[in-house]
Structure 1
């Protein structure tokens, strides 16, 4: 679907307001983190809600959630079509723990803030050592009641397409022994990298998948659930 002049104008306004305002939230996080965990969490949630307001009033994008997002120590397997679902997670859940790539965690300033907030860093080139570290961090965050938000496909997938799940996802599921809550997202049809479009982004929460399933069954069920909004 091609973009028109209105899409370009809306997107430029969004980039100006959201990214400009984000600078204030980053500075606010650095200040809030000095006063403890709770103020820092509040800033991150405020930033995510600010993003949602910018999407609503500047881009004309409404968000609809079908089902109830978890607020407990479970694996939340989310379809990844755009940056939207990554930014929006703190607005959907209370203190989620995401799984960013190691490269992101090493960005000056951002990496410090991410680690201070509490994330599970994914180091893809460190093999078993990285997996052990991910499991330890995941257990620590889950014990605090934090939902563990992971993109099991490993990267953004265009709307309407499917991809094989990363092998590390099944490994985490087995080692953690936690339920999985799959979430389908259709953000890719509106929230493009450049010129975004108005409309409705839907998040559909699938049925909980209990621990202990064979890998093939787990992956089949998660794949079907996270692609429920694909045409």
Structure 2
């Protein structure tokens, strides 16, 4: 019975979350079209609304730990669900992503993405996107901000063991910027798919920066080590033993 009630609460929460996205997108559009600050105001307001409404609608509180980066950095984050995106964007002053080119043509939302500095890429052409970004940064054309990247390339369920792809190491080497790793346990409460949202405390934690200058291999090994170790600790704090789950999956 308790799970059924929580599922209904979750359904109502998810519905209002997407309604709020539409309402706030339209509300901030006039400002967004004339001033880039309007785009950031819109996305920050929405993300903070989701965090606030989750706390009382489904009992899911959110906490951001560590020093929030504000300069020109890469943010390499563990990615478990939509919630870690919401939490990162809610606190980073100038967040941006590498996004699929098709999203450029999404009504209103595509314009927001472009205004905050997201980089559209064709499917399978991330190498060209990286080359263009490096050239833009060198020429001063790329808008400053915090570029959020997901080293595993997709959402990962708690306890899963997916490899870290080469793209984050290439960006780190080519851009020559510090990289701020970020760990999380949000997948314990907000899954990749489905309606159910569980009560608890979801955490995203910014970890000490990795300075530029490491080789791609050194960077990848260090990034994976700190992100996975800290994410495991945060998941254990939330009551989920990730190493044990991985051991069971391996048989």
Q: How does 1:66-85 map to 2 (within 5 A)?
A: 66-85=65-84
Per the alignment, residue 43 of structure 2 pairs with 44
Q: TM-score, normalised by structure 1?
A: 0.89
Per the alignment, residue 249 of structure 2 pairs with none
Give yes or no for contact 1:81–1:157 (8 Å, CA) kept in 2. yes
Per the alignment, residue 229 of structure 1 pairs with 231
CA deviation after TM superposition for structure 1 residue 73, in Å: 0.6
Measure the CA separation in 1 of the matches of 2:46 and 2:221.
35
Q: TM-score, normalised by structure 2?
A: 0.83
What secondary structure does 1:99 align onto?
strand
Give yes or no for contact 1:73–1:143 (8 Å, CA) kept in 2. no
- Counting matched residue pairs gives 228
Structure 1 consecutive aligned stretches of length 4 or more whose deviation exceeds 4 Å: 137-143
Q: How does 1:48-197 map to 2 (within 5 A)?
A: 48-126=47-125, 128-136=127-135, 144=144, 146-192=145-191, 193-194=193-194, 195-197=196-198
Per the alignment, residue 198 of structure 1 pairs with 199
CA deviation after TM superposition for structure 1 residue 17, in Å: 1.5
Relative distance call for 1:109 and 1:137 in structure 2 (3 A) is farther
CA deviation after TM superposition for structure 1 residue 170, in Å: 1.1
Relative distance call for 1:198 and 1:122 in structure 2 (3 A) is farther
CA deviation after TM superposition for structure 1 residue 13, in Å: 1.4
Measure the CA separation in 1 of the matches of 2:33 and 2:215.
45
What secondary structure does 2:119 align onto?
coil
Relative distance call for 1:117 and 1:205 in structure 2 (3 A) is closer
Measure the CA separation in 2 of the matches of 1:86 and 1:64.
13
Give yes or no for contact 1:49–1:91 (8 Å, CA) kept in 2. yes
Give yes or no for contact 2:29–2:38 (8 Å, CA) kept in 1. no
Measure the CA separation in 1 of the matches of 2:55 and 2:63.
12
Relative distance call for 1:45 and 1:171 in structure 2 (3 A) is same
Give yes or no for contact 1:17–1:54 (8 Å, CA) kept in 2. no
Give yes or no for contact 1:73–1:141 (8 Å, CA) kept in 2. no
Give yes or no for contact 1:179–1:211 (8 Å, CA) kept in 2. yes
Measure the CA separation in 2 of the matches of 1:141 and 1:51.
32
Measure the CA separation in 2 of the matches of 1:4 and 1:90.
30
